[in-house]
Chains A and B, each alone.
Chain A
């Protein structure tokens, strides 16, 4: 068992290394390089050479990659091209904001969608199930920004319950944060809960076709008891995996939602930096997002391994 877990961990580290290489070396696709990009037409060869030296671009690319990775492991992400400030300073506060938003959304959406998935499985092929199925399909089909604007229309314009802008400062108190992030969190919840509900239902329905469930039914047990006591424990592995995978999905959904609500998170920093073509900041934020995503995927695998010992004994 330990060796399986260790090898999965090793694979995770290897993936992280490979992804960091993709993030770094994709810069080589840049026509010209950053120095030329910064100076544009006006750059004399000497000026370009100076900037290249300042940025360390005159060193071999393999060496630059290693020192980039070394820096990141020591909390140094380099400097922003646009503002010249250290990226670590810019990104730290924003990362906390993003984690707050994603965590808040996870806290609501996980119990909600596992519950709805259970209900849908319990009332399978009956109106309740059909309704849950259709609403979740609708929520999947809606782009996040449409959900966001619909919510703004309903809750800000019509009902005047919640603000449409989620501008918060570093020292905003918790109550203010909760109020201002209400609509972004609701948007994320709708987007993520739909997937989780459908997959939870699918995982349980899958187990429901096993002979031992039929046995439990024939014993005359109540339907909810069959689902909760007999089906749920065996479906738990896939459900946990689905939940963690959707946390990973939250990480991406956060980008659009932050832009809609002008929430000062890492996603908005990323989008702003892409339009400014501030490549070092883009690389750093992409790496943070990708690392979080890979870690969550790794966790999902590990949890389903521990939750379902059969997975450890294949072949």
Chain B
């Protein structure tokens, strides 16, 4: 891969649109308090008001502004997904690189453990853990981070095993470099491209995962604004032909689609295919 910035100019239209949308989401999420006309949980009018000049998108079942809540929801939903993905990457990535570099019994123990955790569908495993730990943001973050880290572990381990075969890694070993040098200076730079693509993919999975759990009423708890639970709360409106519950759902879909478009391009780049 050439310089990252010059790479951007070669990005296809789909990836550029994706990046534009992701940046726009970031800006909206960070500046939500400045942009939103009303507060996150503020009750500002009658329930189920229709679209008007004061409330551009009407109000919800408790009389809260439907324009303001998705804006705050962006912070909660995206922020929590980002934190979870980062934690999952730190845990799974480091464990995978260490296991793939050390090999031997450490690798065997970790890999078998991950096999067992991956044998259970992730939604089912998370529901089991949520029943035991109780529904709170902290337990949700740790559960999803644990589940996703198993997937990252697999990739990081495979990368470390593959790159560890190269002579320069062997040379570093003979030179007497420590484990952290070998992992962070020899292996990681060459594993970076696929790991970055994986980060995008994992983020969209985590994001959908959190939205799904919140939709099931087991994720981010009210009154905090969040897209998944907003869909759940306002779902009854659809039966009356109101489109507003589809706004947070559409927001979820657009972000995932954009991240997927970027990831498609990154994977294509790092696999070195040209067609």
Contact = CB atoms under 8 A, between A and B. Distances in A.
A69 B115 CA distance: 21
B116 interface: yes
B249 A149 contact: yes
Interface in A272-294: 273-275, 277-279, 282-283, 286, 289-290, 293-294
A61 to B, nearest CB: 14
Contacts of B246: 146, 149-150, 153
A22 B124 contact: no
Interface in B233-258: 235, 238-241, 243, 245-246, 249-250, 252-253, 256-257
A301 interface: no
Interface residues of A, number: 49
B231 to A, nearest CB: 6
Interface in A138-183: 138, 140-146, 149-150, 152-153, 156-158, 164
A256 B121 contact: no
Contact of A274 (B218, B249, B253): B218
B5 interface: no
A46 to B, nearest CB: 26
Interface stretch (B26-34, B89-97, B209-217): B209-217
A209 to B, nearest CB: 10
A259 B216 contact: yes
A150 B215 CA distance: 15
A23 interface: yes
B238 A248 contact: no
Name the interface size band of chain B.
35 or more
B257 A137 contact: yes
A137 B120 CA distance: 25
Contacts of B124: 252, 255, 270, 286, 289-290, 293
B131 A282 contact: yes
Interface stretch (B56-64, B65-73, B132-140, B187-195): B132-140
Interface in A18-41: 18-19, 22-23, 26-27, 29-30
A72 to B, nearest CB: 15
B259 to A, nearest CB: 8
Contacts of B218: 271, 274-275
Interface in B163-202: none
Contact of A145 (B115, B129, B231, B243): B231
B252 A277 contact: no
B116 A18 contact: yes
B257 A293 contact: no
Contacts of A297: 119
A156 B249 contact: no
A138 B131 contact: no
B119 A273 contact: no
B241 A18 contact: no
B211 to A, nearest CB: 6
Nearest to B116: A18
Interface in A61-95: none
Interface of A is mostly: helix
Interface string A7-19: 0000000010011
A251 B120 CA distance: 11
A297 B121 CA distance: 11
A146 B252 contact: yes
Contacts of B216: 255-256, 259, 271
B256 A141 contact: yes
Nearest to A268: B216
A219 B211 CA distance: 53
Contacts of B85: none
B120 to A, nearest CB: 5
Contacts of A142: 253, 256
B131 A277 contact: yes
A18 B117 CA distance: 9
B178 to A, nearest CB: 34
Interface in B29-46: none
17 contacts: A18-B119, A19-B116, A19-B119, A140-B260, A142-B253, A143-B211, A146-B249, A149-B238, A153-B238, A156-B239, A248-B121, A256-B215, A274-B130, A274-B131, A277-B134, A286-B128, A293-B119
Interface of A: 15, 18-19, 22-23, 26-27, 29-30, 137-138, 140-146, 149-150, 152-153, 156-158, 164, 248, 251-252, 255-256, 259-260, 270-271, 273-275, 277-279, 282-283, 286, 289-290, 293-294, 297
Interface of B: 115-117, 119-125, 127-135, 204, 208, 211-212, 215-218, 228, 231-232, 235, 238-241, 243, 245-246, 249-250, 252-253, 256-257, 260-261, 264
- Top 8 nearest A-B pairs by Cβ distance? A141-B257, A146-B249, A282-B131, A141-B256, A274-B131, A252-B121, A18-B116, A286-B128
